[in-house]
Structures are given as structure tokens and as C-alpha cells.
Amino acid sequence: MNTFTEIYQKITQYDTIILHRHTSPDPDALGSQAGLARSLKLQFPNKRILCAGENDEGDLAWINKMDQVTEKDYVGALVITTDTGNTARIANKLYSKGDFLIKIDHHPDVEPYADMSFVDDQAPAASQIVADFIITEEMPLTAEVAYPLYAGIVGDTGRFMYPETTDHTFKIAAKLAATGININEIARNISDVTFEQAKLQAEVLEYMKVDASGAAYAILTQDTLHKLGVDSDQASCTVSTPGRIKDIIAWNVFVEKPDGTYRVHYRSKGPVINELAAKHDGGGHALASGANAKDMAEVKQIFAELVQVTKEYQEEHE
């Protein structure tokens, strides 16, 4: 792993810097990407700084919107990925066209794909790492920079609820808040849902199947989404809903995509689930991961695996 100073020195060598994040972004993906890009623009006003993705920000466009990038932009460019553990999840595959690749991430480094990297899988959010980088290298930390970083930290810590949250997390959050950002607005933007999304959350509880082990799952079909006027990306608002039920300790939410495949959400209150996600074209954190399923047979297999690790967890903690 490289140091912040080594990464900063590499950044100084390039006139064009293009930042990528993962597909189907969450607040941390967009926040870490935007926060770093905005600070770099202030630090290096003569450099060309671009944010690349797949224009899939959806309801999170209030955090950041993507720039239009073409293959020509990558000639001689430095590419930086944030919050992306493996190449399969990097949004916009043009990233490989750059001259040099840097990875800044907090997922387990199962695929060390970059020329240079800073990976801390103990950090609760990539946005916290980016904030540390900006502060350590004495780069600009204005309200414009702090806003997406704070959003990313709030999003990936579950509003400072998840166990990866530390006293350092609060210290960084305090420094970001001290720039004058509207932290109440950020909290509302992250928690607010449309009326249609609220009804979909109710549907998840209606469809939820709970195993005796404490594992649970719900499947949201395209028919259900269309009935409520919600698309596949907006359905992500349902992922945390089962966690409010005391008897549920690990769960899957399967969201059918327009092509008939499924986006798979894993969440847990204890059992480690990122190794399960890795078996199905996915990955993530010990208690929060994502994957994909090609059909109902794989959906059933995924839940059977979740039931097994949940049973083992229960037996270990009896």
C-alpha cells in the first residue's frame, strides 16, 4: 500500500485526472469521488478534473453529477477510483484507457488492481479516507468539498450506527461540519423517500420470508416496481427495512432488473456476508454487501447460503 504523500506526488505529475466510483452508486461512492474532485480542482486550478460514471446517480444526484467523458480524455490521464473494491464494479469501463491508475478504497483488497493504492478496510467509508487524505496533504477543505464527504460518511456508517464507526470518524465528521455545511439537509436528503418508495418498503415487509435461523429475504419483481411507479435503482431504499425487525439478523433483498436478472442486497447484524457475495459476482463489507443473480435458481442458492452462515452464527453465539 502507498502513502498519502506518494499518491499526492503522483497527482502532481498529470494535467488530466479522471475519477471513477462503483456502479449503482451509494452516498459514499458519489461522496468520495466528488469530495476528492472538488478539492483537487481548488488545489490545482490549471488541471482538468473530471468525474466519470454511468449517469446512474438516480435519487443521489444532489450529491454529485457526472461529467461527460470520452475515450480521448483518457490519453495521458491519471485515473483514480474511489470506493470500488474490484474492477467488475468500476462505473464506466473507459477507466482502463488511462496512463496510470490509483485506487482509494475501504473494501477488503481482494483485487489489488491499481498501479498505486491506499486501502484501509477498517475505515467505515471511503469518504473518511478521502477526508484524511485532504487534511494530511493540506488540500482545500471548503464547504463545497466537505458536503459530499459528510454525506458519504453518514451513508456508509448508517448515520454513525455501524460498528466500524470510531472516535476518529466523529473527529473527521466534526471537521467537515465545521466548514459550515448544512448537516440537517444532508441527513434529510439521505433519509427522505417518495410516497411510492414508502409503499415499496411496506411491500418488502409484506413479501418478507423469515427462516427459523433469523435469515430473511424478499423479492421485488419488475411487476411490483411498475405497479408502484418505482425503478430498480429507487428500490435501494428498501434494503435497510428488514433490519428494524428484532428477529431478523441477516437478510437479502432481491430486486429484479429489466433484463430478468437480479440485483442482490446483503445486510447483517452479525453474520459475515461479504464472502457470500463474492461467490456471486459481488462483494463489499462484512455486514453490508451486494451481488448479482442470473435467475431464480441462483436466488434460491444465495438465500440457502445465507441461512447456513446465519445458523452457524447463532450456534456460535448461543
The predicted structure's pLDDT at residue 281 = 87
Fold of the domain spanning 195-316: Diaminopimelate Epimerase; Chain A, domain 1 (3.10.310)
Residues of the chain with CATH 3.90.1640.10: 4-191
61-100 residue pLDDT tens: 999 999 999 999 999 999 999 999 999 889 999 999 999 9
Task: Report whether pLDDT(285) > 90.
Answer: no
26-63 residue pLDDT tens: 999 999 999 999 999 999 999 999 999 988 888 899 99
What is the maximal distance between C-alpha atoms in the chain?
61
pLDDT band at 142 (very low <50, low <70, confident <90, very high): very high
172-188 residue pLDDT tens: 999 999 999 999 999 99
The predicted structure's pLDDT at residue 277 = 94
The predicted structure's pLDDT at residue 258 = 93
- Residue 23's closest CA among 55, 69, 59, 62? 55
The predicted structure's pLDDT at residue 266 = 96
Q: What is the pTM of this model?
A: 0.87
Determine if residue 27 is left, alpha or beta; phi over 0 gives left, psi from -120 to 50 gives alpha, anything else beta: alpha
Contact 29, 60 (CB under 8 A): no
Task: Report whether pLDDT(284) > 90.
Answer: no
pLDDT band at 304 (very low <50, low <70, confident <90, very high): very high
Q: DSSP strand E in the chain: where?
A: 16-20, 48-51, 78-82, 100-105, 116-119, 209-210, 215-220, 250-256, 262-268, 283-284, 288-293
Burial (CB count <10 Å: 0-12, 13-18, 19+), residue 88? middle
Q: Which three cell numbers stand for residue 260?
A: 430478468
Residues of the chain with CATH 3.10.310.30: 195-316
The predicted structure's pLDDT at residue 232 = 80
pLDDT band at 261 (very low <50, low <70, confident <90, very high): very high
Average pLDDT, the chain: 94
Give strand pairing partners of 195: none
100-125 residue pLDDT tens: 999 999 998 989 999 999 999 999 99
Q: Does the 4-191 domain belong in CATH 3.90.1640.10?
A: yes
pLDDT band at 318 (very low <50, low <70, confident <90, very high): confident
The helix/strand/coil state of 213 is: coil
CB atoms under 10 Å from CB of 19, counted, come to: 27
192-241 residue pLDDT tens: 888 998 988 988 888 899 999 999 999 999 999 999 888 887 888 899 89
The full 3-state SS of 36-82, as one line of letters, equals: HHHHHHHHCCCCEEEECCCCCCHHHCCCCCCCCCCHHHHCCCEEEEE
Weakest-pLDDT range from 18-22, 91-95, 265-269, 288-292: 288-292
The predicted structure's pLDDT at residue 207 = 85
